[in-house]
Structures are given as C-alpha cells and as structure tokens.
Structure 1
Amino acid sequence: MTTLQMNGISKSFSGVPALRSVDFEVRAGEVHALLGANGAGKSTLMKILTGAYQADAGRILIDGAECAIQSPQAAKQLGIECVYQEVDTALIPYLSVAENILLDQQVQKKGLIRWSRLYQQAEEILQTFGFSIPVKKQVEACTLSEKQLILIARAAAQQARFIIFDEPTAPLSNKETERLFAIIEQCKRAGMGIIYISHRLVEIFQICDRITVMRDGQHISTKETGDTDIDEVISSMLGKSFDEEFPKAKVPIGKTILEVHKARGGKVREADLQVREGEIVGVVGLVGAGKTELARLLFGADPWEGGELRMGGRPLRLRSPKDAVEAGIVLVPEERRKEGIFVEESVMHNLSVASLAKWAPNGFIQKRLESIQATEIVRTLGVKTADIRQPVGHLSGGNQQKVAIGKWLETDARLFLFDEPTKGVDIGAKSEIYRLIGRLAQEGKGILYFSCEFPEVLGIADRILVMFEGRIVRELSREEATQELIMYYASGGE
C-alpha cells in the first residue's frame, strides 16, 4: 500500500515558528482530513508538500523512500496535486476549459497543438466524472462551481497519486457536493490518497476515514473517524470547549432603515424586504438562488431593471457602489480576495481605503493618523497580524475577512450586507465574526446576512428570507424557522 509520510516537519518565518516537528501521513485509498483553526499550520504544511515552501527540518517519504520536493513541478512529478480553495489563483482566465484541464501536459509537450484532440481529451475527462461544462468556454466566463470542477478534472488528468482538496465544497451546490463525494469515492477505489481540508465538520464525518487535528503549528491528534466525534474535534482544534457556536445577543429593534419593493435585475426576478435598526435579517437559498445577485443589486454593483428602494424613508436610486456607500450601504462580498481586499496591499491601507477622506483632507494621507486608526481596528477586531504593514494576502482567511469588514467601520454605514461571510473560515474565526456582527447590531446597524449555510442563519438571524430562482418566496420568524422548513421553500416548495 502506497503511503506518503511527513516526519518532523518544522518551518519558521522571520524566526517565528509556523510548524513544530509535525508528523502527518496519508495512505493510498483513504480520505484523511487535516483540520485546525486559522493559523494552525495546515496551509504551511501543505505548501511544503506541494513544493511552494521548503521545510527547515524534517523529511517527506513515499513508500519509505525520501523525496526532495524543491518546487511545485517536482511535487507534480511525484503525483501530488492540489485542488485549491481560491480557484481564480489556480486557473488562467483567458484560456478555455480544455486548455486549463490539460495545461500541465501541454506545457511539457513540443510542437503544434492538435486542438481537436485537446478538446476530445478534455471532454472525455469531464464525462468520466459527469461534469457538464463546454470545453471551449473561456474560464473567466465560468461560475465558481464550474471552476472548482475544472481543477478537479485537471488533477484527474494528471493521474495523481495524492490529491489535496482545500475547502472543495465551498462554492458547490448540494447536488454538486454529492457528485464531488462520489468522485472522491472513485478516487479512493482507484487507490489515490486524499488529503481533505474543510471547515464543514459534518462532511468530514461523512466522507473521511481518519482525522488529524493541528493547533498552533503542532500535531495534536490523529484518530479514526469512528473513534471520535464533532465535539471532541472542536475541542482539539480550539484547545477548549466550544459551547456557544452561535452567540446571539438580545438587541432592541428600532426604526426601519431599508425598504425594498419588487427589486429586479439580472438573476433577481422579484424581491421585497425591509431591515430595521439592530436587526439581523438572514437571506438564505441554495447555490444559484440569486443571493449574491441581490446583494450586488442592493450595493449598486449591478444595474436595476425595476423596483423601488428607500433608505430611511427616502427614495434612493443606485447607479454605482459609490451611491450606496454615500447612502450608508456597504457590502462584504463573497469573493473577499477578488472583491473585498487588496491582497498585495498592507493591512493598514486596506483598513483605511474606504475612509480615505478622513486621513487625506488636503489630498495628502496623514500616515500617523492612518496608522493609529488601523492599529485600533486591528485590536478591536482581533486581527492576527505581525504588523499592520504586512500584506493582507499573507493573513489567514478569517483574518482577511475581518479586514474586509473592518474597512467599513470608519464610514457612516447604517446597513451592512454580508455575502457568505464565513466561507472558508475556521470554526474559531466564525464565532468571532458572529460576535462582530452582533456588536454592529447592538450599535443600531441593520444587517442583511446572505448565506447558504442554514444552521448559521438559524443561529444569528432575527428573521429569515428564503430565496428560490431569484425570488424571495417566504419570510420566517426566528421562532418558526427550522432547517427542514428552509430547505422545503429553498427547493421550490409552496
């Protein structure tokens, strides 16, 4: 049985230990979950395995033979592939689906490309897994879920021996997730070793054979899935019990902030809603229901085709996000690295970008004041960063999300739109984000919380609006809402 072992792996950055003598193993024909809170060291360990980083100490062995993985190409040659969470960083947008699937093979070949053969090969790979994506379609025109499936197809095309799945179900619908699990089962039967990283613990227990937990750069435990449970895993990840997963503070509900009547635009066919001061309104639906499109419509990012919007009782016409921000409406988007933050800029600059007028009244940024304010926001939100001048792209997903939220705190925002705010965020950071949203509600802000995660909406929302095919089809009170009832209406029930 083929086995990949990582023994005594250590890694430090600027003298700060990120990994401390970590052991990890994956066997052929198993799905091995790698879990840990943000900053636990999972990503660093996997970057060493895929050749993006070099370990300071330790060995990597395949079937007992030590391997030198000095580059991503060396990892691929050993049969180690990764399906990344941030799909846009792993695909070439201006190339076709077929070219992206067979990219590694084409790079290694010489001579002219036989396009008919290329498209045929890609089509065969997609059909093997039941994926239905036009092979000539440009990747930049694909949906998030299609991009994820393209990455899975690329890994399969390489005939990988070990595949790392990093939050693979985050952009997928329930049906696509079921298909992915079937594909992973196929990979198991074919003798591949699967390393599965996810913050969705229910699915971990559904498909994984073993679970390894890391914390603070160290290996904490490895257990057979049947020998542990969710509560024990959470305790191991956090180093403490996690009794209050969805903290919900009681907040007095005030005056109406936002009123929307028959909003239409793009996928949004009709939406009526209102949000009051201190109220958290959940908007739920399955993938493709139109949640993100509604959030973009209310932020002025997409054009309105009809309907009315009132802010504080006054009619409001949104031509752009600038109009929305000036009216007090702000958005924390689903794709934070693409739309919510500037990954190459510092934490400080990201936190000040939405309120530059405060720090540059005469056209020149007062850096001392900018630095003081950024430091205060970092402290208030608990952003874990070595320095406010550190590029925000180097932070963990949860801390990037805190920065995406924090940039709006110095504006005059009255209504916060959160689109899948805990996507790809670990369980500890999720709780911190819930608490932050609760604090905004206590300050009298209105919250629209868009999510396909029914449990979290049930946990934090005062009211729940269910979307189906671009329409808000049902409103549920906190008391009457259940996962079963939400699923019924989100699936088209009447």
Structure 2
Amino acid sequence: MTTLQMNGIMKQFSGVPALRSVDFEVKAGEVHALLGANGAGKSTLMKILTGAYVADGGSIVIDGREAAIQSPQDAKALGIQCVYQEVDTALIPYLSVAENILLDRQIQAKGLISWRRLYEEAEAILARFGFSIPVKKQVEACTLSEKQLILIARATVQQARFIIFDEPTAPLSNTETERLFQIIEQCKQAGLGIIYISHRLPEIFQICDRITVMRDGQRISTKETADTTMDEVIAAMLGKTFSEEFPKTQVPIGETILEVKNARGGKVRRADLHVREGEIVGVVGLVGAGKTELARLLFGADEWEDGKLIVNGRALRLRTPKEAVQAGIVLVPEERRKEGIFVEESVARNLSVATLAKWSPRGFVKQRLESEQAEKIVRKLGVKTAGIRQPVGHLSGGNQQKVAIGKWLDTDARIFMFDEPTKGVDIGAKSDIYRLIGSLAAEKKGILYFSCEFPEVLGIADRILVMFEGQIVKELSREEATQESIMYYASGGE
C-alpha cells in the first residue's frame, strides 16, 4: 500500500518555531483530515509537503523511500497536488477553462497546440466528473464554485497520487458539495491518498477515515474518525472545552436606524427590511439566493433599479461605496482577499485605510499615529501577527478577516454588514468574530449578518430574514426559527 509519511518535520521563521517535530501520514485509499485552529501549523506543514517551503528538519518518505522536495515541481513530480482554498491564486484568469485544466500539459507540449483536441479533452474530463462548465469560457468570468471545480479537475488529471483539499467546500452549494464528496470517494476508490483540511466538522465526520489535530505547531492526536467525537476534536484544537460555540450577548434593542423598502437591482428582485440599534439581523439563504447581491446593493457597489434606503430617518440614494461609508454603512465582503484587504500591504496600512484622512494631513502619512492606532486594534481583536508591518497576505484566514473587520472600527459607522464572515475561518477565530459582532451590537450598532450557515445565524441573530431567488420571503424571530423552518423557506416553501 502506498503511504506518504512526514517524520519529525521542523520549521522556524525568524527564530520562532512554527513546527515542532511533527509526524503525519496518509495512506493510499484513505481520506485523512488535518485540523487545527489558526496558527496551529497545518498550512506550514502542507507548504513543506507541496514544496513551497523547505523544512529545517525531518524527512518525507513515500513508499519507504525518502523524497527530496525542494520546490513545487518536485512535489508534482512525486504526484502531490493541492486544491487551494484561494482559487484565484491558483488559476490564470485570462486563459480559458480548458487551458487551466490542462495547463501543465500545454507547458510541456512541443510545436503547435491543437485547440480542437484541447477542448475535446477538457470536455471529456469535466464530463467524467459531472461538471458542466463551458471549456472556452475565460476563468475570470467563472463563478467561485466553477473555479473550485476547475482546480479539482486539473489536480485529478495530473497523475496525482496524493491530493490536498484546502477548504474545498467553502464556495460550493449544497448540491456541488455532495458532488465533490462523490468525486473524493472516486479518488479514494482509485487508490489516491486524500488530505482534507476544513473547518466544517460535520463534513469531516461524514467523509474522513482518520483525523489528525494540530495545535501550536505540534501534532496533538491522530484517531480513527469512528473512535472520536466533535467535542473531543474541538477540545484538542483549542486546548480547552468549547461548550458555547455561539456566544450571544443580550443587549437592549433601540430605535430603527436602517430601513429598506422594495429594493431592486441586479439579482435582487425585492427586499424589505429594517435594522434597529443593538440588533443583529441575520439574512440567510442557499447559495445563489441573492444575499451577496443585496449586501452590495446596500453598500452602493451595485446600481439600484428601484426602492428606498432610509438611514436615521433620511432617505438616501447611494451610488458608490464611498457614499455608503459617509452615510455610516460599512461592509465586510465575502471575498476578503479580493475586496476586503490589500494582501500585499501591511497590517497597519490595512487597518488605517478607511480612516487615512486622519493620519495623512497635507498628503503625508503620520506613521507614528497610524502605528499606534493599528497596535490598539490588533490588541483589541487579538490579531496574531509578527508585527503591524507584516503583509496581511501572510496571515491566516481568520486573522485576515479580523483585519478586514478592524479597518472599520475607527470610523463613524452605525450599520455594519458582514457577508459570510466566518468562511474559511477556524473555530477559535469564529468565536472571536462572534464576540466582536456582539460587542458592536452592545455599542448600539446595527448589524446585518449575511450567511448560508444556518446554525451560526440561529446562534447569533436576534431576527432572521430568509431569501429565495432574490427576494426576502420570510421573517422569523429568534424564538420561532429552526434549521428546518429556515430550509423550508430558503427552498421556496410558502
């Protein structure tokens, strides 16, 4: 049986240990979950396996023979592939679907490319997995879920022996997720070893054979999935029990500060809602229901076709996000790396960008004041970073999200909108984000919380609005809402 073993892997950054003699193993024909909170070391371990980093110590052994992995090319030559969470970093946007799927084959090809054969082969590969994506379509025009499926298709045709799936279901609908699980089962039956990284514990217990938990750069445990529980896994990840997954602070509800009447624009067909001081209003729906589009409409990022927006009793017509921010409405978008942060800029610059006028009189940034404010927000949010001058793109997903939220904290915003704020975020960082949202509500801010994760909306919201096909079709109180009732209306029930 083919086995990949990582033995005693060690890695330091600037003298700080990131991995402390970590052992990890995946066998052919198994799905092995690798779990841990942000900063646990799992990403560093996988970057060593894929050749992005070189280990300071330890060994990688495949089929009993030590493997020298010094680069991504070395890893691919050994049959190690990765389907990344950040799909846009792994695809070439201006090439077609077919070109991205068969990218390595094109690079190695000699002479002229036969486009007819290229498209036919790509279509056959997609058809084999049941994917329906036009092969001539440019990748930059594809949806998030389509991009994820393209990456999966690419990995499976590059003679992979081991595939790493990093948060693969984050951008997928329920139907696409089930199809992905079928594909993973096909890979498993074909003898591939699957390393599965996800923060969604129910799916871990659904599809994984073994679970390895890391914490603070060390392997804490490896167990057969059948021999452990979610509570045990959470305790291993956090180093403590986690009895309250959704901390909910009860705060007094005040006056109405936001009203939306008959909002229409793009995919949003009709939306009526209101938000009061200190209130967290959940907006839920299945993938494609129009939640993100509604958030963009209210933020002035998309054009209104009809309807009214009333803030603090004043009717407004927002044409740009700048006008929304000036009106006291801010948005933490779903795609944080594309729209929520500047990945190449520092933590400090990202935290000051929304209030840059304060720190740059006459066009010159007062770096000392900017740094002091950044340090204050980093401490308040518990951002784990080597320093405020570290590029945000080097932080974990949860810490990037904290920065995306933190940049709005020093503004005069009264209405905070969060679009899928815990996507790709580990369970510890999720708890931090829930508490932060609760503290904003306690400061009499109004919160709109857009999510397709029904349990988290049930845990955090005071009121729940259900969307279906671009419309808000039902309002439920915290007391009457259940997962079943939300699913009923989210699926078109009346």
- The equivalent residue for 2:71 is 71
Q: What code does the residue aligned with 1:469 have?
A: E
The worse-fitting range, judged by mean Cα deviation, of 429-438 and 352-361 is 352-361
- The equivalent residue for 2:413 is 413
- The equivalent residue for 1:250 is 250
Aligned ranges 1:218-257 → 2 under 5 Å: 218-257=218-257
User: Does the residue aligned with 2:137 lie in a helix, a strand or coil?
Assistant: coil
- The equivalent residue for 1:207 is 207
- The equivalent residue for 1:34 is 34
CA shift digits 1:33-68 (9 cap, x unpaired):
000000000000000000000000010011110001
Equivalents in 1 of 2:302, 2:80: separation in Å?
41
Equivalents in 2 of 1:464, 1:282: separation in Å?
5
Equivalents in 1 of 2:113, 2:269: separation in Å?
44
- The equivalent residue for 1:115 is 115
- The equivalent residue for 2:271 is 271
Q: What code does the residue aligned with 1:237 have?
A: M
Shift of residue 159 of structure 1?
2.3
User: Does the residue aligned with 2:365 lie in a helix, a strand or coil?
Assistant: coil
Shift of residue 304 of structure 1?
0.8
CA shift digits 1:79-123 (9 cap, x unpaired):
110000000000000000000000011111111110000000100
- The equivalent residue for 2:300 is 300
Shift of residue 365 of structure 1?
1.3
Shift of residue 73 of structure 1?
1.0
Q: What code does the residue aligned with 2:387 have?
A: D
Aligned ranges 1:337-486 → 2 under 5 Å: 337-486=337-486
- The equivalent residue for 2:82 is 82
Equivalents in 1 of 2:72, 2:159: separation in Å?
16
- The equivalent residue for 1:325 is 325
Equivalents in 2 of 1:457, 1:275: separation in Å?
16
User: Does the residue aligned with 2:182 lie in a helix, a strand or coil?
Assistant: helix
Shift of residue 221 of structure 1?
0.4
Equivalents in 1 of 2:332, 2:71: separation in Å?
35
Percentage of identical aligned residues: 84
Q: How many residue pairs are counted as aligned between the two chains?
A: 494
Aligned ranges 1:40-59 → 2 under 5 Å: 40-59=40-59
Equivalents in 2 of 1:11, 1:360: separation in Å?
40
Shift of residue 367 of structure 1?
1.1
Equivalents in 2 of 1:108, 1:33: separation in Å?
33
- The equivalent residue for 1:136 is 136
The worse-fitting range, judged by mean Cα deviation, of 353-362 and 372-381 is 353-362
Shift of residue 386 of structure 1?
1.2
User: Does the residue aligned with 2:33 lie in a helix, a strand or coil?
Assistant: strand
CA shift digits 1:235-271 (9 cap, x unpaired):
0000000011100001100111110011111111110
Shift of residue 357 of structure 1?
1.1
Equivalents in 1 of 2:135, 2:471: separation in Å?
31
Shift of residue 128 of structure 1?
0.4
Shift of residue 363 of structure 1?
2.1
User: Does the residue aligned with 2:362 lie in a helix, a strand or coil?
Assistant: coil
Shift of residue 394 of structure 1?
0.8
CA shift digits 1:346-383 (9 cap, x unpaired):
00000000001111133221111111111101011111
- The equivalent residue for 1:102 is 102
- The equivalent residue for 2:180 is 180
- The equivalent residue for 1:6 is 6
Q: What code does the residue aligned with 1:467 have?
A: M
- The equivalent residue for 1:164 is 164
Q: What code does the residue aligned with 2:442 have?
A: Q
Q: What code does the residue aligned with 1:116 have?
A: R
- The equivalent residue for 2:189 is 189
User: Does the residue aligned with 1:354 lie in a helix, a strand or coil?
Assistant: helix
- The equivalent residue for 2:18 is 18
User: Does the residue aligned with 1:362 lie in a helix, a strand or coil?
Assistant: helix
CA shift digits 1:166-185 (9 cap, x unpaired):
00000000000000000000
**Structure 2 unmatched runs, 5+:** none
Equivalents in 1 of 2:466, 2:219: separation in Å?
41
Equivalents in 1 of 2:91, 2:382: separation in Å?
33
CA shift digits 1:315-361 (9 cap, x unpaired):
01011001100000000000001100001100000000000111113
Shift of residue 207 of structure 1?
0.2
Shift of residue 303 of structure 1?
0.7
CA RMSD in angstroms comes to 0.5
Shift of residue 419 of structure 1?
0.3
Q: Normalized against structure 2, the TM-score is what?
A: 1.00
User: Does the residue aligned with 1:147 lie in a helix, a strand or coil?
Assistant: helix
Q: What code does the residue aligned with 1:150 have?
A: I
Equivalents in 2 of 1:219, 1:371: separation in Å?
36
CA shift digits 1:201-237 (9 cap, x unpaired):
0000000000000000001000000000000000000
Q: What code does the residue aligned with 1:55 have?
A: A
